[in-house]
Structure 1
Amino acid sequence: MRLLHTADWHLGRLFHNISLLEDQRHVLNQLIEIVDREAVDAVLIAGDIYDRSVPPATAVTLLDDVLGELCQARGLPVVIISGNHDGAERLGFGARHLRQAGLHILSDLSACDTPVTLAINGVEIDIFGVPYADPEYVRSQFGEPVRDFDSAHRYLLTRIGEKRHATRPTVLMSHCFVDGGSASDSERPLTLGGAESVAWEPMHSFDYVALGHLHGPQYRGGEHIRYSGSLLKYSFSEARQRKGVTLVDIGNEGVTGIEHRPLVPKREVRVLEGELDELLRQGREDLHADDYLLVRLTDRHAILDPMGKLRAIYPNVLHLEKPGMLGTQQRQQLDRERLRFNALDMFSDFFEQTSGDAMSADQARAMSDVITSLSRDEEGQP
């Protein structure tokens, strides 16, 4: 049996106020192509299907389109757990009726010890799902005095352990932060104070663990305890990550193979660094100038409307940094003498960019006199 593990779709997400819905549709079409090309038998989605608990209607429509392709058109079983971005009750609406169509939505924590059993190609496996739940909810639901995410997660796994089949391979799906995992800027913290992680050791006995929440593909404690990562890069801290899905081959004897399959975005997320003129020159030859960009300018002089100039070449510059203008802490706290020293140079740059011509010697002398006069007035000198 071949499983496709994916997670953290975040449908409806905005990236610096730009809708990513069409970018998400682009990679989800690739996911469907991978399902066809790789002869996938079932799809596991480990939480954060939506980006917020009340998703926009367009995001709901996109999910419906994708699930229609997987469940209805191809007859594949799809198993979903809810994540911390999802509204568990809304996501789970109609779950009992949808099972007949092959869609298994596991958002009810009280049923975490009830498996979805799949029998395909002579292989029978159990899939247990642990939707996102904070310790307070576990205490309320089960009356168990758990203190933190780890003790809550251990308790839920103990309940599941009591229902595991003696010989049947078992897959665990969980939306959580495994201790030691590599996080990104786009992941919403599960709690304040740093007590959000769970240990990987209690999950080690499962044949495969399909994790969600962390956006970078990675594994913890063993190659079979794995984050597939998100569909797209949702922050500039993820610029170097290789997004994709995970294929898992599992037989009656357990997992026989784990492979990563890349997804190619409609637009990449990149960080460009350099001086403005050089970046503009490069952009005129850049075949992917419409990528989502963070630009880090290294120029040390004042620049008039750098964002406007960049967007004339790179239309999707979403964030601009100017570390060259900041320098050290001492440079940030410029004293009056340094301001006076640089004022003429700064005005010269401004004059040239607005008029298109450099100041003449007479103009420079006149402006120098004005700056000197203003400085004296400020200091109360005659």
Structure 2
Amino acid sequence: MKFIHTSDWHIGRQFHNVSLLEDQRHVLNQLIEHIEREAVDAVVIAGDIYDRSVPPAAAVELLDDVLNKICAELGVPVLLIPGNHDSAERLRFASRQLRQAGLHIIGELSQINQPVKIRGASIEVCFYGIPYNDPELVRNHFGVNVSTHDEAHRYLVEQIISAKPDESPSILISHCFIDGWDESDSERPLSIGGADRINYEAFTAFDYVALGHLHSPQHKGESHIRYSGSILKYSFSEQKQRKGITLVEMAANGMKSATHLPLHPLRDMRILEGELNTLLEQGKTDPHNDDYLLVRLTDKHALLDPMGKLRQVYPNVLHIEKPGMLDMSDQAINRDKLKRGELEMFRDFFEQVHGQALLPEQDEAIKEIISQIQKLEGELA
């Protein structure tokens, strides 16, 4: 049997105050195309369906459209768990009724040892889900003494292993942070001080483990324990990640293959670095000038309205950094150097505003003004 493993949709997310809903709809349509093309038997979503616990109405509408297309129109069952960004209580609303339509929302700890059985062409597979939880929740629900995410997760996995049958391949769905695996800037920490990390070795008893939370598609240690990664880049630290979904094929004796299927964004997320004038010229012929950009300007002189100028050729510049302006000696700066620095900055400013350099008499006047200001500051100090 075949199924698609995906996670971290973060529907409704805003990045630098820009809504990504259109971008999310674009890649989720590609997900639906993959489902049709590959004729899969199920779709697994390993948490963080929404970006926040109370999503905007447009985000709810998009999720409703996607799930209706998959479950109702294509007839493919969907299994999902809440992540740390989701509200489990809201996400699992009407879950018992929706199960009859092929949407299986595993949102309660009391459900973890109750498998969802999906039959493929030749085998039946048992899917188990662990909704995102923290040690306090597990401690209160089961009355056990656990203090870390690893202890809580190991306890939950043990409950599933003790109940699962041996004759059918078993899949575990979990939203968690495996220790030592690649992270990025867009993942919200689950706790402070590293207590959110868990060890992957607890998962080895399953035939495939569909993980969510980390946004980079990856596997380490065991090839059947995998993060599918997020469907889009959600921070500039992810600019080199290959986003997509994972197509998993199961045999009676376990995982047969796991294949990365790419998702192509409506707008990529990139970092550009260089001097302002160079980037302005580059933007005139850049075929992907509508990408979301972080721009690092290497100019060492003052710049007038660099954001406005850049957005004339790169309309989706979201953030500017100016490391060139910070490239200063850490030695003490004497007053003569300070005078020259202020004068040079004003010269640059004047030239950018008026398109020409200061006249000699203007230059002398500015020198005199700077000198008077510094003398007055010295008297007041």
Q: Would you call these one fold, judging by a TM-score over 0.5?
A: yes
After superposition, the C-alpha distances for 1:184-228 in whole angstroms (9 at most, x for unaligned) are 111110001111011111101211000000001011321110000
Q: Distance in 1 between matches of 2:132 and 2:228?
A: 17
User: How much identity, in percent, do the aligned residues show?
Assistant: 58
Matched position secondary structure for 2:288 = coil
After superposition, the C-alpha distances for 1:244-276 in whole angstroms (9 at most, x for unaligned) are 000000022211111001100000000000000
Q: Could you say if the C-alpha distance between residues 197 and 211 of structure 1 is closer, same or farther in structure 2, counting changes exceeding 3 Å?
A: same
1:108 is displaced (CA, Å) by: 0.6
Corresponding residue of 1:203: 203
Corresponding residue of 1:353: 352
Corresponding residue of 1:372: 371
What letter matches 2:108 in structure 1?
Answer: D
Matched position secondary structure for 1:162 = helix
After superposition, the C-alpha distances for 1:130-153 in whole angstroms (9 at most, x for unaligned) are 110000000000001111000000
Corresponding residue of 1:162: 162
Matched position secondary structure for 1:290 = coil
After superposition, the C-alpha distances for 1:276-328 in whole angstroms (9 at most, x for unaligned) are 00010100111111110000000000011111111111111111100110125
Matched position secondary structure for 1:247 = strand
Q: Could you say if the C-alpha distance between residues 117 and 280 of structure 1 is closer, same or farther in structure 2, counting changes exceeding 3 Å?
A: same
1:122 is displaced (CA, Å) by: 2.0
Q: Could you say if the C-alpha distance between residues 328 and 351 of structure 1 is closer, same or farther in structure 2, counting changes exceeding 3 Å?
A: closer
CA contact (8 A) 1:180 1:220 kept: no
What letter matches 1:377 in structure 2?
Answer: L
Equivalences for residues 133-152 of structure 1 within 5 A: 133-152=133-152
Q: Distance in 2 between matches of 1:335 and 1:233?
A: 46
Say which is worse superposed, 127-136 or 249-258, in terms of deviation: 249-258
Equivalences for residues 1-382 of structure 1 within 5 A: 1-328=1-328, 330=330, 336-380=335-379
Aligned-residue CA RMSD (Å): 1.4
1:38 is displaced (CA, Å) by: 1.7
CA contact (8 A) 2:296 2:321 kept: yes
TM-score (norm 2): 0.97
Say which is worse superposed, 355-364 or 183-192, in terms of deviation: 355-364
Q: Distance in 2 between matches of 1:342 and 1:17?
A: 35
CA contact (8 A) 1:204 1:221 kept: no
CA contact (8 A) 1:178 1:220 kept: no
Q: Distance in 2 between matches of 1:238 and 1:337?
A: 44
1:374 is displaced (CA, Å) by: 2.9
1:166 is displaced (CA, Å) by: 1.2
CA contact (8 A) 1:289 1:315 kept: yes
TM-score (norm 1): 0.97
1:335 is displaced (CA, Å) by: 5.4
1:334 is displaced (CA, Å) by: 5.3
1:364 is displaced (CA, Å) by: 1.6
Gaps of 5+ in 2: none
Q: Distance in 2 between matches of 1:335 and 1:225?
A: 60
CA contact (8 A) 1:249 1:255 kept: yes
Matched position secondary structure for 1:319 = strand
What letter matches 1:274 in structure 2?
Answer: G
What letter matches 1:137 in structure 2?
Answer: L
Number of residue pairs the alignment of both structures matches: 380
CA contact (8 A) 2:172 2:209 kept: yes
Q: Distance in 2 between matches of 1:312 and 1:115?
A: 55
Q: Distance in 2 between matches of 1:160 and 1:119?
A: 20
